Amino acid sequence: MKRRYILAPQAARDLVQIWRYIKNESSQETADRVESVIRGKFVYLADFPQGGHWRRDLTAAEVRFLASKAAGRWWMSGPVGVRCASNNSARLEQV
């Protein structure tokens, strides 16, 4: 069963900014594709909150990392939800 997720307001704003930047620098098609990849990662992490892998070389915190090549970002999954590693205020909250 797929779990639903809700983006924190800052995460939603970040996603819009990412989309706009890519559209302006590349194309709407590319921006749509990257957004789709990012949203796919959200769905994956909602279904498998312990997904990803440890990066003990980056942090001793109890978090796992999941890469998204299309977005050029790392997503951290931990006991408090999922956060974009490049912006700790952006997080995915499970419902």
pLDDT tens-digit series, residues 77-92: 454 445 444 433 344 4
Which is more confident, 30 or 46? 30
The tokens describing 8, both together, are 């924190």
Which is more confident, 76 or 62? 62
Contacts 24+ apart (CB under 8 A), 31-38: 33/70, 34/70, 34/71, 37/68, 37/70, 37/71, 38/68, 38/70, 38/71
Please give the domain boundaries of the chain with CATH numbers for all domains.
Answer: 5-94 (3.30.2310.20)
pLDDT tens-digit series, residues 36-67: 988 888 888 888 878 888 888 888 888 777 76
Whole-Å CA distances, 36 to 32, 44, 60, 78, 79: 6, 12, 31, 23, 25
pLDDT-derived band of residue 27, with 50, 70 and 90 as boundaries? Answer: very high
